[in-house]
Amino acid sequence: MIRYRARWLIPVSGAPIENGVLGVSGRSIEYVGSATDAPQGDEVDFGEAILMPGLVNTHTHLELTAMRGLLEDLEFPEWIDRLRASRNNVLSDDMLLDSARHGIAEGLLAGITTYADTCSSGVALQAMIEMGVRGIMYQEVFGPAPDSRAASMADLRARVEACRVPAGDRPLVRLGVSPHAPYTVSDELFADVAAYARESGLPLAVHIAESKAECDLVCRGTGPLAMRLAARSIATPVRARSPIALLESLGALGRDTLLIHCVHVDEADIALMRDRHCGVAHCPVSNAKLGHGIAPLVEMLAAGIAVGLGSDSVASNNRMHLLEEARAAVLHQRALLRSPDALPAVQAMELATLGGARALRIDAEAGTLERGKDADFAVFDLGAAALPAGDPVAAAIFSLGGAAARFVAVAGEPLVRDGCLVRGDERVQERVASAGRALRVWHDAAATN
C-alpha cells in the first residue's frame, strides 16, 4: 500500500481530515483517515497541501481545444455557425485528435480525472485511452431535416460500431450517444436515437435549454435559429411547451440521460427532470460568457437532481478548471439570489466531484475518497494565495482559483507528478498551436468575404 499524506484530506463523503492519509493499493482505495491510524506502507508526503477526489468534468468538447479564443463576443447562432464552419473546413482528424489530447493534458494539470465528452469526430475516445483518464465519449449525431433521419442513424450506428472500447469489469472509458441539440436534430431523429440508446444500453447526452434562441425555436417556431432552418427549407412548427418537455415527448428523458446546460428551465421542467432521474451538466462559465444566463442550480439541487459541473469547450470558456467553475457557480447563485449562504463551499466541492459522478452514473467507482472505490485523486499545494486555510473546503473553492495540480492519479496510476504530465508529449502542444493559427487564418479570410 502507498500512503499519500497531506495536511488536509477532503474525502467529500465525510468531513475534511487534518494530517490525513489516503492508502492506495493497485487501483483501489484501501484506507482513508488520520495519518496516526494509517497502516504501514511507502509514504508520499505532500506537506502543506489539499488532497481531494479527482475532479469530474461533466461537459467537454475535447476535440475543439484548438479553437480556444477564436470566436469571441458573438451572438450564439453566429457563434455556432462559425464554430462548425471553421472546424469542418480546417481541422483534419489528426488535428482533432491532437486537440483532444491537449484538452486532456490541460484538464489533468487542473486535477480533472473524468471527462464526459460530446464528440463529433470520435477522436476523444482514443485520446482518453492514451492519456489514461476516466471518461464517457458521447458520439454526436446531427440531422435537423426530418427526412435525413435514416442517414443520420446509419452514420451513428457505423460510428458506434467502429469505436473500440476496452472490455473489462470496471472500464475507465465508456461510450454513449449525443443527439446534439433541438436546432440541429429533428424530433424524428431524437426519437430514433433515444430508442437506439435504450436498446444498446448506451448513455445519452444532449445540449438542452441553453439559449433564448433555442427556446424561441422550440416553443414558438421563431427567432434566429428558426430562420437558419427555414433558409434550408426545414419547417419550424411549435414543437413543445419547453425544450425539456420536447425531450420528454420524444422519450429522451431517463436515468442515463445527461442534460447539458438547462439554463432555461422552469418549475415544471425541474419536476420532470427529477421524476425521470436525469443527470445535469451545469456549465456556469460558458453560460455566462455566451450570455445565456444563470441556470436555476439551487432549485435543481433542492429537487434532488444529480448535478455536476462542466467546463464546456474552451471555445466558450476559455479554460478548463473545475475549481474555478465551482467558484463561478457559487458566485452566480449568490448574486442571483442575493443570498450570502446559497450554495455553501461544501456543496460546490460536492458538485465538482460526487455530483458529477452521480450525474454520469459512475459514483460506485469515483467521485469520493472511500474505501473500495478507484483511487482517482488530485493534490493542490496550499500556496501563498491559499494560506491560511483553516477551512480547507472554502480554500479549495474560493482561493485555489486556476491553480495547477501537483499530483493527479486515475485508478491508482499517477498521471501528474510534481506538476508535470507523466505521459506528456510537447509535440502535441506545438501541433495544436499550429492548428490554431490555421483556424485563425481561415476564419479571418471567411469573415472578410
Q: How far is the CB of 84 from Zn ion (least distance, A)?
A: 12
Q: How far is the CB of 118 from Zn ion (least distance, A)?
A: 6
Those residues with Cβ within 8 angstroms of residue 202's Cβ, 6 or more apart along the chain or in another chain: 160, 175, 176, 177, 196, 256
377 residue type, one letter = F
Report the alpha-carbon distance of residue 374 to residue 357 in Å, rounded: 12
- Cβ closest to Zn ion, residue 248 vs residue 312: 312
- Cβ closest to Zn ion, residue 62 vs residue 393: 62
In 91-176, where does DSSP find H-type helix?
93-108, 123-131, 149-162
Can you read off the three cell numbers belonging to residue 161? Answer: 460500431
- Cβ closest to Zn ion, residue 207 vs residue 406: 207
In the region spanning residues 114 to 173, those forming contacts with Zn ion, defined by CB under 5 A, are: none
- Cβ closest to Zn ion, residue 9 vs residue 280: 280
Q: How far is the CB of 66 from Zn ion (least distance, A)?
A: 16
Of 265, 398, 377, 272, nearest to 327 by C-alpha is: 398
Q: How far is the CB of 287 from Zn ion (least distance, A)?
A: 11
- Cβ closest to Zn ion, residue 316 vs residue 333: 316
In the region spanning residues 305 to 324, those forming contacts with Zn ion, defined by CB under 5 A, are: 312
> Is the Cβ–Cβ distance between 343 and 397 less than 8 Å?
no
> Is the Cβ–Cβ distance between 416 and 108 less than 8 Å?
yes
> Is the Cβ–Cβ distance between 55 and 110 less than 8 Å?
yes
- Cβ closest to Zn ion, residue 63 vs residue 312: 312
Can you read off the three cell numbers belonging to residue 263? Answer: 439554463
Q: How many CB atoms lie within 10 A of CB 404?
A: 15
Torsion of CA 128, 133, 135, 141, to 10 degrees: -10
Q: How far is the CB of 282 from Zn ion (least distance, A)?
A: 12
Integer CA distances (angstroms), 74 to 10, 52, 184, 207, 215, in order: 40, 37, 19, 19, 18
DSSP code of residue 223: S
- Cβ closest to Zn ion, residue 204 vs residue 349: 204
> Is the alpha carbon torsion for 117, 121, 127, 129 positive or negative?
positive
Q: How far is the CB of 181 from Zn ion (least distance, A)?
A: 9
Q: How far is the CB of 179 from Zn ion (least distance, A)?
A: 13
Q: How many CB atoms lie within 10 A of CB 235?
A: 11
How many residues make contact with Zn ion (CB under 5 A)? 1
Q: How far is the CB of 375 from Zn ion (least distance, A)?
A: 29
> Is the Cβ–Cβ distance between 242 and 277 less than 8 Å?
no
- Cβ closest to Zn ion, residue 214 vs residue 312: 312
What is the contact mask toward Zn ion in residues 238 to 267, using x (rule: CB under 5 A)? ------------------------------
Question: Which residue ranges make up the site for Zn ion (CB under 5 A)?
Answer: 312
